Each structure stands twice: as structure tokens, then as C-alpha cells.
Amino acid sequence: MKAAIFVEPGRIVLEEKPIPAVGPRDALLRVTTTTICGTDVHILKGEYPVARGLTVGHEPVGVIEEVGTAVTGYEVGQRVIAGAVTPCGQCHACLNGDHAQCGGKAMGGWRLGNTIDGCQADYVLIPNAMANLAAIPDALTDEEVLMCPDIMSTGFSGAERARIQIGDTVAVFAQGPIGLCATVGAKLSGATRIFTVDGIPERLTMSQELGADLVVDYREQDPVATIMKATDGRGVDVAIEALGTQSTFENCLRVLRPGGILSSLGVYSGKLTVPMDAFAAGLGDYTVVSTLCPGGKERMRRLMNVLESRRTDLRPLVTHTFALDEIERAYDLFANQRDGVLKIAIKPH
């Protein structure tokens, strides 16, 4: 089979690999659609280390090709997705509800394209299949569910973990695919005023279409001053960080009302510092929460239910389609953010 593998910083290439052997609790998927994540670009650039030769990709949509001897409840030929995070469902972390931290190690549940071969390939092995495979409703296409494994799950969790209340005012910093899904999640959670911040006009337009009430182009307006003015100096109840930089994290704190919740989704590198003036010297009753993409089949079922019930439509996020054979070109386009790209559908079959 063909698989996109990490060779060295700067190089992810398509190579031949054997189709993986199926263990008792695994399932083998024939990948019909997958996509490239911002995290894969960090891997490509060598900013997030993975083993040489690892197949990348953690957003699988496919058809069951083979199930392990201990797997029940699934059929060969069934259309399924699995989350980017594939919890075992059995360990102490999973049974505490911390599926993304499976095994009790930070990020332990993120296996695909991280610690085991991922899904930018003709086939992918899904571990602990019975905890992870979620059947795709007939009414939904591959493209419609493509955001579920990671982008929608992560973005929505930014809103969920912030415990948004009906009537809340929310700011979302950065409107890439995950930030856009956080905007949708905030709206579905009951936020009635949503401010979003980005510097790319197409993303701000998309943000408005998906539910933002006021969009701020940070190249033209100071986002903190604009949001504070729009809330009469009160600040927002919830600020969601969806980029992973010092300035977006800090701006979240600066627009948050005392007692508010900062929900962090970004992946940071280096050092993150908390300015004491924005943090009320530690006495502002702030809550800071961080989230890794929730996974497991029940999470996937719920997300697909949101789509099937037409509460939102995330298809506009898929701006480009490439065959698996063209994945190196797709990486180039995505990593350089050309041509208004948001998410790319990769089609192995």
C-alpha cells in the first residue's frame, strides 16, 4: 500500500509499505478520505518529533476491511470513522473520563500518526476497535464527517470545557479550522454574542457565516480594545485560544472578565508566560482549562449526530481535494496556506 511517511524535518513522502497485520482487538480500515492537520505540518517541519518512517495522519474516514478475532459488533464493508484520539477504554485514565490522556501519560490517547502508523495511507490499523469505530449514518458523506475525528471534536471541546452558559459573550482568537469549529461550538452551547479574531479575510467571512456576531481583523483593529469597547468595558465570559501563541493567550486574558474562563486549544512551543497585570496578580478568580481532542466512538457518534440533525454544516471548511498520490503537493499548499486553503480532503481511493 502507499503511505505518507515522515522521513526527516522538511520531508514527508509517499512510499510503499506493507498492509498492517490485524491483531485481536484491532480493525483494518480501507481509508476512503482523510485530511492534513496543522499538527502534521509541525511534524513536517520537525517541530513535533515522531519516529522516522512513521505514517502520518490522524483523521480517518473509511470502510472496514478486516476485524480482529476479539472484535464484535462490526461488519466488513461498514463505513466508519475513528477519532484522532483512540483511547483503550479500559485504563484508569479512560475510566476517569480522561480518554485523551489514555494510559495516564499526557496525550497518551493520541496514537495515530504519533506513536503508531496513521491514516494518510491506503489502509490504517485502528487499535482497540470496539472503543473507537463509529458507524457513519447513511445520510452523511465522507466530506461531511471529515471534520469529526479531530477539528470538530477539538473545536467543540473548547466551548464545552469552558462551560458556556446561555447568554454568554465569547471571544475566539484565531479562526483556522479549529477556531471556526470553536465558534460553531460556542453558538451551539448557547453563547449569544461571539467575537472572533483573525487576520485572513476569507477566514473572517467564513467565521461570520458560521455564527460570529462581530469579526475583528487584527491587522486593522486592536482586538483587545475593540472587544473591551464592544462589551462596554465588561469583558467576555469566555475566551477561547485556538492558535497556540503568547500573544493570543495573553489577549484572551486581557479581554476576560474577572471570574471568566480561558479555554486553551492551541499547541504551544517554547515558553508561555502569564503577565500579572492581565491575570489580576492571581486574584481574578480566573479559570484556565486546556483540552486535547476528545476521542472514542461515543464522542464520534455525538458529533455525527450534530451534523445529521443539520445543526451545522462544516463542508465549507473542506476547500480542496487531492488524491493520495498528490499528497506532497497538498502538504506544500497547506503548509504555506496558499489559495485560501482551510482543510484538504485526501482521497486514497
- Give the binding site for Zn ion (CB under 5 A): 37, 39, 87-88, 91, 94, 102, 150
Q: Which is nearer to Zn ion, 14 or 91 (CB)?
A: 91
With b for 16 or more beta-carbon neighbours within 10 A and e for fewer, the 196-229 pattern comes to: bbbebeebbebbbebbbbebbebeeeebbebbbe
CB of 108 to Zn ion, least distance (A): 7
Q: Which is nearer to Zn ion, 93 or 216 (CB)?
A: 93
CB of 292 to Zn ion, least distance (A): 10
CB of 30 to Zn ion, least distance (A): 21
CB of 219 to Zn ion, least distance (A): 26
CB of 39 to Zn ion, least distance (A): 4
CB of 52 to Zn ion, least distance (A): 20
Q: Which residue is nearest to Zn ion (CB)?
A: 37
Q: Which is nearer to Zn ion, 43 or 194 (CB)?
A: 43
Q: Which is nearer to Zn ion, 195 or 322 (CB)?
A: 322
Q: Which is nearer to Zn ion, 146 or 236 (CB)?
A: 146
- Which among 161, 196, 179, 147 has a CA at the least distance from the CA of 313? 147
Copy the grid coordinates of residue 209.
Answer: 457565516
CB of 150 to Zn ion, least distance (A): 4
Contact partners, residue 10, CB within 8 Å, separation at least 6:
44, 45, 46
CB of 94 to Zn ion, least distance (A): 3
Q: Which is nearer to Zn ion, 37 or 256 (CB)?
A: 37
Q: Which is nearer to Zn ion, 35 or 251 (CB)?
A: 35
CB of 15 to Zn ion, least distance (A): 22
Q: Which is nearer to Zn ion, 99 or 161 (CB)?
A: 99
Q: Which is nearer to Zn ion, 102 or 227 (CB)?
A: 102
